[in-house]
Structure 1
């Protein structure tokens, strides 16, 4: 039956005092949602303010909070400030709305949240829907969207109707805690894959149940991200077995009695009519190291607030919180309203409080050169303004704050970016401490220090180095022993460590488990043997390739390949030598020689050189020769007087011709086993011109004789002497 009252009665009704901050804590947020704006909150979907002038909704997604359109059901009238409400949904079907507070709040002294909620006016009164959630997320990331709606209440994940062909809808990013004020009851159950991946499941299991298994119940779900987690933690029921029903232990009804407003009700009249349907909720979370979550509800029935739930809170507790509210309808409906949100710390904060945190998500694995973004959440918990606000972090460097004056009760987030160094990687973490300072009433105020250690986890890694333990030279039929030095170069333990070689079978390792790399990394030695085949002899060498592998966190980690080539057969080197400089050659002539060195074997040669018994310095174009390759070497020799003198000694009587100068050269190289291979000697000879010394011929005495008559006579030049007569 509709609640109808006279205008005069509206004025006489007590509409309820606004929620006040708890005396024990420090105030952080106070938003009534009674005015036309709420600038610190972002609206999602159907969320709007009835205190603002009527307006069309901007559609799905995020938007600034503005006015509401005309609604279905007994909704407060528009343009109602200062009697307005945050309207998450009206009573139409398939509505979903949320508000998000995307500003980090300190968590080091716990948190207390008080708010008023209304769920009423269903057009399907037998089954009102769905409920309202209050959720906390880790404040080190951006809060830009809620989770899935329906039975997930804008916090948890959801596979619609458990249809495997449907799109899996994620929960809120980096969720920490979701308190469901569940009128319909599906938030209690794990149907539609709520709690996906959780070891502990809802008592109601994963099946679909009609009606919902946890009607008129407060249910708490824990941390989650994406489509994993958001596990059932506890609920206000007397039955935690897997056999239903699961009756609620709440001492009152979450849903209010109002079903209609009188036609033309003013905002103030609507406020009075809505008062009996108001339920004040208090969520208290104590600080670490043993955080406890307590939920209390005032059912507005004159009996005061009732503690309905208390349970250990999930750990670890985030360094900061962000929060939101969400509500939705489906085939069943209700109007969902929020008012008087007051947030404070659970215990008093210092006058100037600082919480330093790394902003998420980080850019993958941290290596030298990675950029790490930091947030510094600063709160003025004193009663006076703080000016000259600054944050100092000696390791990170300059910190930028959006304002330098902080009003009493105000929180601001300052930022900085740090570049990871090689020293950080070696150390395995980034460790730093920051402080905030300012001036209050002429006195310097300094926050307690806030420290953080960011681990640098090296990804799993493995390397292998292969060696031949059997010395060469190698021949067909010879058995060669290989060893493999395997090292864990990553930050995870490796199990099932083994080596695969394309030529060697039966490789065994001293250890098959390697601890994470420290300095130096954990390592083991593996070994195996191979017998050289006739095919290897024909090829002149054998090359085998090896990799090492191990398992880390269920994944196979494989090393880069390593190769080793062994020569099979004798290496060989050949030398050809020739003279480049043309004659004539004499004392002082610089004679250039060219040496052609060829690797005529089947083994690569290194440190190739040429030695010449006369040429002191010989250079080669290259000193490494693959099989069949050649190089040219160069040297110069200057003919000396000693060469000429040597010619004098060896000259027998002198012939008027030059004498020979011969030099001998040898080429050499080193095979892969370190053996030096030499060529056959190569010689070349040049002839010195005019090398004989001058001498005098004794005068020739012609003996007297008598020419016979008619005999020819010749001169010394061989001509016929008769021709001279």
Structure 2
């Protein structure tokens, strides 16, 4: 991981930024318990100054910084087609949505729709633009979770912050991870381990179903402190109707449990929620032909307003408050110390998902403010995380810098520029900033031999602009990075990245090696994890600064079928040598090249869904697998989340060939309670390196009517009805009921008749 040794700026920010610390898990327990018991807690931050981002999502368009992922769409826009994979501009929602979704083409009564109530949806909206964090951040938004077609509803909505120096082009894993944390599906080692959001800082789970609370599926992988619910799968989910916070993480490590709105932090459940209301709204349907304005009124009871606050450094506190719109106003539901260190900038996003359980998820009225007043012109300088800059730096290394410039005043600034005492030719996307507007400028610095002698390099930057003819200057911001002292070697690796390679192609890699130290470098070698037989023009290099201090090495690599399956090949190389008897080696240098995949599988799944099934019925699924590539595939098999022991007619397929597989599933009582079963299957080949797109099939399940002895079970409350035959052999459990006998059976009982049999009338639901 990349670390900064020193960073000083307006507001007293300091310390080693972007060094991840996951040991803060559990710090918020006492403050959450204090909140639940009504004890004093740390005062929450308040919005200050002009908004840094403000979007209602009620219109036909949204701010361009908001990018959709998956089925995320705008109901205020004209009806559109189904969004494709990955990130995309926000457009209108497609027709035929499942569940009580608000109507399309509804501006100015629109919503950001993350999901409908369909099964297995994963959606997010990402604000991929850095916002200053040096004075904290307060984010307020309205959320709706309602109208699920299953019981219980699922899953939930997450709001998350990442380090603004990182890219935000995809959310984290969905399902119980709510688009923030990592996930190993079903804890199955054969499944791909799905990463969390890139360089996550904070994930706020507004969790209706409750799996985000637990560490099942490797959530919190590598954390010293785990969720109170542990790592086991639990039914029902352990954190129903709960706000849960997870902390920093990257890839498949971290995203540790921080705290939650529960009164029980022991490892023995249950873990009741302390929320003073329900995150899930009461709306279950919208009438056919409802107008946008009518839908807005009908959805109002399901609206919840959430505020997430990170107070300013040096000791920031995270506070979550919710207005359930029940007449009690906004109430603080948890407060806990923020993970340290705090990033200098943030990017943010929202995510939601459904699975076998569903809900409609909507967002509106997003507003982001600093928690304390920023200067009229604010500057934050940072080094981007993607790709990471290897530390310590070596002379000759180029360092990219980003400068996040924000107009925090009430007037427009013109002639905005950034200057840096080490970086020239800084480029900004514009020179005029409206009130509340931010932009990111960029520049590059090449580390010198003098930096190596000093052991570090410190750059200081300032932003300037003009407000109605008056010059406005930001407080300076600087970043200090370590530079390697003494002997060293630098490696730059390159290849032709303009083409797409295919299996069997030969790639030529060039390695430029430079002696960055003050003594001669001897015994030079270059090793590459993919390339053998690398040759160098010279194995001895003069000291840095003299002629002949660099040499060129070359090697070749032949693209394999495995590279084709992966879609790319990444090589890592290291240069090594000896300087005055001291071994030295370069930081690793990686190059990734695209490889055309010529291996692919198609899967079609079918089932007889012409009639409803009942508990105990055996359902037969048929899977049609086709080799859609141009090479033979072996080890064909099917993985289905409900069906085991699937058999295929053949496990080897020539290009274009097809095979049929079958498997069976027995309907359970839980399926009857849900009313349906949705199975998801994937075909794999060549030791699971080739995978098809998932295929789904849904059947309807109805409760089985009782016959004979099945009817002898006692009824309860509203479930009771007059007994007949053998039904009369068991008591019912209303307060006026007694067992019936003989001629009294089948007759209603009335009033209090001690010693006489009674029977209460009720209608089975």
Per-residue deviation, 1:26:
3.6
Per-residue deviation, 1:27:
1.6
Say whether the 8 Å CA contact 2:50–2:435 is kept in structure 1.
no
Say whether the 8 Å CA contact 2:132–2:380 is kept in structure 1.
yes
CA distance in 2, matches of 1:315, 1:90: 37
Say whether the 8 Å CA contact 2:193–2:252 is kept in structure 1.
yes
CA distance in 2, matches of 1:560, 1:420: 22
Matches within 5 A, 1:419-568: 419-456=446-483
In structure 1, runs of 5+ residues without a counterpart are 1-20, 463-488, 491-556, 564-725
Per-residue deviation, 1:460:
11
2:443 paired with 1:416: yes
Matches within 5 A, 1:650-689: none
1:272 aligned counterpart, secondary structure: helix
Which residue is 1:52 aligned to? 77
2:51 paired with 1:27: yes
CA distance in 1, matches of 2:487, 2:260: 41
Per-residue deviation, 1:426:
2.7
Per-residue deviation, 1:211:
0.9
Q: How many residues align?
A: 450
Which residue is 1:105 aligned to? 131
Per-residue deviation, 1:25:
3.8
Which residue is 1:480 aligned to? none
Say whether the 8 Å CA contact 2:162–2:348 is kept in structure 1.
yes
Per-residue deviation, 1:359:
1.4
Say whether the 8 Å CA contact 2:308–2:319 is kept in structure 1.
yes
Distance change >3 Å, CA 87–CA 401, structure 1 → 2 = same
Which residue is 1:396 aligned to? 423
Measured on the aligned residues, the alpha-carbon RMSD in Å equals: 2.2
2:307 paired with 1:282: yes
1:161 aligned counterpart, secondary structure: helix
Say whether the 8 Å CA contact 1:113–1:283 is kept in structure 2.
yes
Distance change >3 Å, CA 561–CA 400, structure 1 → 2 = closer
Distance change >3 Å, CA 150–CA 315, structure 1 → 2 = same
Per-residue deviation, 1:318:
0.3
Per-residue deviation, 1:58:
2.3
Which residue is 2:113 aligned to? 87
CA distance in 2, matches of 1:457, 1:310: 42
2:170 aligned counterpart, secondary structure: coil
Matches within 5 A, 1:226-245: 226-245=251-270
Distance change >3 Å, CA 119–CA 299, structure 1 → 2 = same
Distance change >3 Å, CA 364–CA 396, structure 1 → 2 = same
CA distance in 1, matches of 2:480, 2:306: 36
2:275 paired with 1:250: yes
- 1:566-616 CA-partner distances (Å, limit 9, x unpaired): xxxxxxxxxxxxxxxxxxxxxxxxxxxxxxxxxxxxxxxxxxxxxxxxxxx
Per-residue deviation, 1:279:
0.3
CA distance in 2, matches of 1:226, 1:23: 32
CA distance in 1, matches of 2:261, 2:49: 27
CA distance in 1, matches of 2:298, 2:412: 40
2:134 aligned counterpart, secondary structure: coil
Which residue is 2:402 aligned to? 375
Per-residue deviation, 1:22:
5.7
Matches within 5 A, 1:598-617: none
1:147 aligned counterpart, secondary structure: coil
Which residue is 1:474 aligned to? none
CA distance in 1, matches of 2:579, 2:125: 55
Say whether the 8 Å CA contact 1:26–1:347 is kept in structure 2.
no
Matches within 5 A, 1:120-159: 120-124=146-150, 126-159=151-184
- 1:647-701 CA-partner distances (Å, limit 9, x unpaired): xxxxxxxxxxxxxxxxxxxxxxxxxxxxxxxxxxxxxxxxxxxxxxxxxxxxxxx
Per-residue deviation, 1:276:
0.7
Please point out which of 12, 21, 37 is paired with 2:61: 37
Which residue is 1:330 aligned to? 355
CA distance in 2, matches of 1:319, 1:49: 31
Distance change >3 Å, CA 424–CA 237, structure 1 → 2 = same
Which residue is 2:336 aligned to? 311
Per-residue deviation, 1:69:
1.2
Per-residue deviation, 1:457:
5.8
Say whether the 8 Å CA contact 1:461–1:558 is kept in structure 2.
no
CA distance in 1, matches of 2:169, 2:483: 28
Per-residue deviation, 1:559:
7.9
CA distance in 1, matches of 2:576, 2:403: 41
Per-residue deviation, 1:56:
1.5
Q: Which has the larger radius of gyration?
A: 1
CA distance in 2, matches of 1:25, 1:218: 28
Say whether the 8 Å CA contact 2:142–2:365 is kept in structure 1.
yes
1:403 aligned counterpart, secondary structure: coil
Distance change >3 Å, CA 180–CA 142, structure 1 → 2 = same
Which residue is 2:91 aligned to? 66
Say whether the 8 Å CA contact 1:26–1:348 is kept in structure 2.
no
CA distance in 2, matches of 1:187, 1:65: 27
2:52 aligned counterpart, secondary structure: strand
2:369 paired with 1:341: no
Matches within 5 A, 1:627-706: none
1:279 aligned counterpart, secondary structure: strand
Say whether the 8 Å CA contact 1:363–1:370 is kept in structure 2.
no
CA distance in 2, matches of 1:212, 1:425: 55
- 1:528-580 CA-partner distances (Å, limit 9, x unpaired): xxxxxxxxxxxxxxxxxxxxxxxxxxxxx9985999xxxxxxxxxxxxxxxxx
Which residue is 1:616 aligned to? none
TM-score normalized with structure 2 length? 0.57
In structure 2, runs of 5+ residues without a counterpart are 1-44, 490-515, 518-574, 582-765
CA distance in 1, matches of 2:277, 2:343: 33
Which residue is 2:651 aligned to? none
Distance change >3 Å, CA 401–CA 241, structure 1 → 2 = same
1:27 aligned counterpart, secondary structure: coil
